[in-house]
Amino acid sequence: MTQSDQNNNIDLNQFNQVFFEECAEHLAEMEQILVSLPDEGPDEEQLNAIFRAAHSIKGGAGIFGFQDMTVVTHVLESLLDRMRNHEIPFSTAMVDLFLEAGDVISMQLAGHRDGAFVRQEAIEQISAKLQQVIDAGSLDAPAGSASAAMIPVPEEIAQSGTVASEHSDQRYELVFTPDPDIFRRGIRLENLFAELEELGELTVTAGLPATTDFNSIDPEICVCSWRMTLVTTAGEADIRDIFEFVADLDQLQLRTVSENVREISASDDSKAIATVTPPENTRLMPTGESAADPAGAATGRRAYDKNELAAGAYGRRTSEAESSIRVGVTKVDQLINQVGELVITQLMLAQTATVLDPVLHENLHRSLLQLERNTRDLQQSVMSIRLVPISIVFSRFPRMVRELAAKLGKQVELKTVGDTTELDKGLIEKITDPLTHLVRNCMDHALETPEARIAAGKEPCGTITLRASQIGGRIVIDVIDDGAGLNRAKILAKAAERGIPASDNMSDEEVWQLIFAPGFSTAECVTDISGRGVGMDVVLRNVQSMSGRVNISSEPGNGTRVTISLPLTLAILDGLSVAVGQEKFIIPLNSIVESLQPAPESLKTVNGGNVVHVRGEYIPIIALYELFNMDALVKEPGKGILILIDVEGEKAALLVDALLDEHQVVIKSIETNYRKVEGTAGATILGDGRVALILDVNSLFRMRKQK
Amino acid sequence: MNTEAGESLKTCLDGECSMSTVAGKYPALMNCLARLLDSGASGERNDCSTSGALLVDLTGVTDIDACGCQLLALFLSGLKQNNISAQLTNIPDTIRSKIHFLGFDSEFNLSH
């Protein structure tokens, strides 16, 4: 392979990746709209959005050479276009059909992106199904029925019997106001008009601005506009396709005057163009605006682009989105690391400056303070790049809930609140599985059947609410259902059966925590949805691996709330630095309860281990110097400082020589740069340039038990 | 391009009248308009059929595109704003077809 070939391959792969990402986004958007459709079917905006997603996938696939992906998307796009033109009516069964089509396209995407297996028969089947609907004119009607029957026709015309077929001519009026640079871009309008003429009978009239000072014009700048009429059997999309690379949305106004043509066709076989005149006061509007005009017929996708800004429009592109760029996560992580290094350098400078006289070096100290502020601001700004909205996770659930509800014979409404809440991309990826399991549990166990709900005096339709919010420095995600609630007696009985320590004296909160025990399940039958008892413990472990917490509250008959609390990011951490011998450690602040110098009488020995008596509790002491096999200045608990830590109810007291300072530290992977060090969650570089290990409190508990 | 003064004023356009040539033709047309204004051609000759109306002779025009049509239309419009009547003459058939196809018939007062 030559260097040039390599370069070409590299470039192509980069572009392919962009296509894969965009295709996945379009599929997700399409699915989101489909599962949220009301029974009466999509409105114009929703239909346009689905169409646009299919069209974009098809266009991208064609450009990037994934021709196989254009097969399904083409027939899907054709069907959607017929629906947009009111030629084929919507039916609820179409949602499943479109979702199935989306699945097949996803499969093809995975085939190209990940080398996953692609079932050709699935592609052929869905293409055939979609084509059958197009041919039949509806999902329910037998093949061959006239789709023209679906076209809304004015009553008087219908009675006259003049609308013979779906292919009757349409008269379009277009006003084209080109970009001023169109001539300079080398676009030849003759070719454009010739293409239009191929569609049917075209008349063109050029117009100049009302007043122009000839002495001050730029002859290469286009100031003309063109008014055209086109009588054709082609659809609006075909016309807009011709302008696709020539005109922006607001440069082409298009409307149909189909009724006039039909009336004249009834009395005269000749084309109507010479005799049909639109009302003088008719204002030609961009089709995006014509949505408000019931006579304005179907709108095109470019029109939809404009109307995406309208309230309630799906798949909208805000000005912010349009000005965004797509950047690889590795680049962002590299930037975060570099800013982390900058923070460390700033800390080093600050530390060095502490020995300098603040009066003699007043300017230097002032500048260092400014540097600290700027560095922190920069760090926060950079960290925010990794933050993504949780809607990315939430958006996968509507379809899952819809399908599970159908499978279980339950009626379920899914509500999401706080979709725009942002959290770290790394957390987003890890939180998906736990949330999926919780929602499946709600569907399978928590929510009752419609009959049971009615018997309990509830609405037959249950509700699952996913709610995300930022509270302080943490993200809180609630999974709430209005089902039967947890059954305390059943949980306690199951715990006893499984040998899990439990008693009737336990508080509700403690009883609810039992369901996180490995292998715990009160489900009476194992289903393929949940109930194997291998879920909630995995949920807890996954959440804890993100430094998160899980809490449950439940009320019999009224439902359950599972609350997951996560840190905003995994890249920086608030910690307390402590000294043990010549070394320094960072203890995460969120696990620290308090620090104390123990009174001699509060220290005891139990089973050969040291404990400290604090407010009625005996808390085991973990001597860090022992755990890490190092020298320490203080080896007697009574002479050192104890830091009480609490993780998910498990407590311990860490023995250290001294407390040093509170820091916001940049977490560095010690595993990547050195090797795994048990008892640590990483390392950071302190202001004096020394490396400090960040303690992993959970693994300290494990290490103590092993010793 | 040249402009002749006779019973009626006449100016001629030659060669290709397109995006690639309009920048070159524009100064000549601007100059023509200025000379007409200087000569006091405006104000009285509103009807092309009367003597003194400017005739724009297109005999030598070999090709025209939308950009060329626009320049010509703006020139005629500039004349009209100064009350100078003008008329295109000797339009080759191919050029006439293109003007029609590009929709400039009415701007040029042509019937097709």
Determine which of A330-344, A407-421, A692-706, B2-16 has the lowest per-residue pLDDT on average: B2-16
Write down the pTM of the prediction: 0.47
Q: How many CB atoms lie within 10 A of CB A245?
A: 9
Is A464 inside a domain boundary?
yes
What residues of chain A lie within 8 A of the CB of B64, using their CB?
none
Contact predicate A680/A696, CB 8 Å:
yes
Q: Would you state the pLDDT for residue B103?
A: 94
B-facing residues of A in 187-206 (CB < 8 A) are 188-190, 193, 203-206
Residue A399 belongs to a domain with what CATH number?
Answer: 3.30.565.10
| Same domain (yes/no): A631, A679 | yes
Cα(B40)–Cα(B82) distance, integer angstroms: 10
Q: pLDDT-based confidence at A464, cuts 50/70/90?
A: very high
| Same domain (yes/no): A533, A580 | no
Q: Is the pLDDT of residue B1 over 80?
A: no
Q: Would you state the pLDDT for residue A274?
A: 29
Cα(A464)–Cα(A451) distance, integer angstroms: 18
Q: Is the pLDDT of residue A607 over 90?
A: no
Determine which of A265-269, A448-452, A587-591 has the lowest per-residue pLDDT on average: A265-269
Q: Would you state the pLDDT for residue A658?
A: 92
Q: Is the pLDDT of residue A572 over 90?
A: no
Determine which of A56-60, A434-438, A647-651, A659-663 has the lowest per-residue pLDDT on average: A647-651
Question: Radius of gyration of chain B from Cα atoms?
Answer: 13
Is B107 inside a domain boundary?
no
Q: What is the DSSP pairing of strand A549-555 with strand A650-656?
A: unpaired
What residues of chain A lie within 8 A of the CB of B81, using their CB?
211, 214
Residues in chain B: 112
| Same domain (yes/no): A295, A196 | yes
Q: What is the mean pLDDT of residues A214-238?
A: 89
| Residue of A176, A221, A224, A226 best to disrupt the B interface, most CBs of B under 10 A | A224
Q: What is the mean pLDDT of residues A213-229?
A: 91
What residues of chain A lie within 8 A of the CB of B106, using their CB?
205-206
Say yes or no for a CB contact (<8 Å) between B19 and A220.
yes
Q: Would you state the pLDDT for residue A519?
A: 64
Of A539, A567, A595, which closes a domain? A567
| Same domain (yes/no): A562, A579 | no
Residue B21 belongs to a domain with what CATH number?
Answer: 3.30.750.24
Q: In what order do the strands lie in the sheet with A583-588?
A: A658-666, A572-580, A583-588, A691-695, A680-685
Say yes or no for a CB contact (<8 Å) between A189 and B98.
no
| Same domain (yes/no): A549, A631 | no
Q: How many CB atoms lie within 10 A of CB A625?
A: 19
| Same domain (yes/no): A81, A195 | no
Q: What is the DSSP string of B58-80?
A: EEEEEEE-HHHHHHHHHHHHHHH
Is B108 inside a domain boundary?
no
Q: Would you state the pLDDT for residue A140?
A: 60
Query: How many separate domains does chain A show?
Result: 5
Say yes or no for a CB contact (<8 Å) between A205 and B22.
no
| Same domain (yes/no): A432, A455 | yes
Cα(A51)–Cα(A299) distance, integer angstroms: 11
Q: Would you state the pLDDT for residue A222?
A: 93
Smallest CA–CA distance, residue B52 to chain A, in Å, is: 21
Say yes or no for a CB contact (<8 Å) between A214 and B78.
yes
Give me chain A's average pLDDT, please.
77
Q: What is the mean pLDDT of residues A303-332?
A: 50
Cα(A279)–Cα(A86) distance, integer angstroms: 25
- Provide the β-strand partners of residue A461: A411
Say yes or no for a CB contact (<8 Å) between A206 and B107.
yes
Q: Which of A499, A495, A476 is nearest to A486 (CA)?
A: A495
Residue A144 belongs to a domain with what CATH number?
Answer: 1.20.120.160
Burial A447-464 (b: 16+ CB within 10 A, else e): bbebeebeeeebeeebbb
Is A207 inside a domain boundary?
yes
What residues of chain B lie within 8 A of the CB of A189, using their CB?
65-66, 102
Say yes or no for a CB contact (<8 Å) between B78 and A220.
no
Cα(B10)–Cα(A129) distance, integer angstroms: 69
pLDDT digits (tens, 9 = 90+) for A379-395: 888 888 888 889 888 98
Nearest chain A residue to B104, by CA: A206
Smallest CA–CA distance, residue A203 to chain B, in Å, is: 8
Q: What is the DSSP pairing of strand A650-656 with strand A617-623?
A: parallel
pLDDT digits (tens, 9 = 90+) for B44-64: 443 333 445 789 999 999 999
Q: What is the DSSP pairing of strand A225-232 with strand A170-176?
A: antiparallel
Q: Which two tokens stand for residue A103?
A: 């699945």
| DSSP 8-state assignment for residue A282 | P
Smallest CA–CA distance, residue A133 to chain B, in Å, is: 41
The proportion of chain A whose per-residue pLDDT surpasses 90, expressed as a percent, equals 19
Q: What is the DSSP string of A573-612?
A: EEEEEEEETTEEEEEEGGGEEEEE---GGGEEEETTEEEE
Q: Is the pLDDT of residue A2 over 60?
A: no
Smallest CA–CA distance, residue B105 to chain A, in Å, is: 8
Cα(A136)–Cα(A145) distance, integer angstroms: 6
Determine which of A16-30, A64-78, B38-52 has the lowest per-residue pLDDT on average: B38-52
Q: pLDDT-based confidence at A470, cuts 50/70/90?
A: confident
Q: What is the mean pLDDT of residues A388-405?
A: 87
Is A435 inside a domain boundary?
yes
Nearest chain A residue to B66, by CA: A189
Q: Is the pLDDT of residue A16 over 60?
A: yes
Determine which of A17-21, A109-113, A303-307, A330-334 has the lowest per-residue pLDDT on average: A303-307
Q: Would you state the pLDDT for residue A453?
A: 93
Q: Please report the ipTM that was assigned to this predicted complex.
A: 0.89
pLDDT digits (tens, 9 = 90+) for A138-157: 766 433 333 333 333 333 33
Of A518, A542, A567, which closes a domain? A567
pLDDT digits (tens, 9 = 90+) for A116-132: 778 888 888 898 989 88
Instruction: Tell me, yes or no, if A213 comes closer than 8 A to chain B by beta carbon.
Output: yes
Q: Would you state the pLDDT for residue A285?
A: 32
What residues of chain B lie within 8 A of the CB of A212, using their CB?
74, 77-78
Say yes or no for a CB contact (<8 Å) between A188 and B65.
yes
Q: Which of A437, A434, A426, A432 is nearest to A392 (CA)?
A: A432
Determine which of A455-459, A612-616, A630-634, A668-672 has the lowest per-residue pLDDT on average: A668-672
Q: Using CB atoms, which residue from A208, A220, A226 is nearest to B73?
A: A208
Of A106, A140, A159, which closes a domain? A159
- Residue A519 corresponds to which amino acid? G
Say yes or no for a CB contact (<8 Å) between B67 and A219.
yes
Q: Would you state the pLDDT for residue A619?
A: 92
Size of interface A-B (CB pairs under 8 A): 82
Determine which of A268-282, A420-434, A482-496, B60-74 has the lowest per-residue pLDDT on average: A268-282
Residues of chain B in Cβ contact (below 8 Å) with chain A: 19, 22-23, 25-26, 29-30, 33-34, 65-67, 69-71, 73-75, 77-78, 81, 98, 101-107
Instruction: Tell me, yes or no, if A224 comes closer than 8 A to chain B by beta carbon.
Output: yes
Say yes or no for a CB contact (<8 Å) between B29 and A214.
yes
Q: In what order do the strands lie in the sheet with B3-4?
A: B3-4, B10-17, B54-64, B86-89
Is A165 inside a domain boundary?
no
Query: How many separate domains does chain B show?
Result: 1
Q: Would you state the pLDDT for residue A561?
A: 94
Is A297 inside a domain boundary?
yes
Domain assignment of residue A579, given as a range? 572-706
Domain assignment of residue B31, given as a range? 2-101
Is B110 inside a domain boundary?
no
Q: Would you state the pLDDT for residue A612?
A: 93
Q: Using CB atoms, which residue from B74, B81, B98 is nearest to A217?
A: B74
Q: Is the pLDDT of residue A427 over 60?
A: yes
Q: What is the mean pLDDT of residues B28-40?
A: 86
| Same domain (yes/no): A294, A409 | no
Q: pLDDT-based confidence at A228, cuts 50/70/90?
A: very high
> Tokens 């340039």 identify what position?
A689
Q: Which of A170, A370, A163 is nearest to A256 (CA)?
A: A170
Say yes or no for a CB contact (<8 Å) between B22 and A184.
no
Contact predicate A594/A671, CB 8 Å:
no
Q: Which of A306, A328, A329, A301 is nearest to A319 (CA)?
A: A306
Cα(A557)–Cα(A193) distance, integer angstroms: 69
Smallest CA–CA distance, residue A224 to chain B, in Å, is: 7
Q: How many CB atoms lie within 10 A of CB A63?
A: 10
Q: pLDDT-based confidence at A192, cuts 50/70/90?
A: confident
Q: In what order do the strands lie in the sheet with A461-471?
A: A411-417, A461-471, A474-481, A559-567, A549-555
The better pLDDT of the pair A670, A427 is held by A427
Nearest chain A residue to B100, by CA: A204
Contact predicate A541/A532, CB 8 Å:
no
Q: Is the pLDDT of residue A266 over 50?
A: no
* Helices A329-353 and A362-385, packing angle to 10 deg: 160
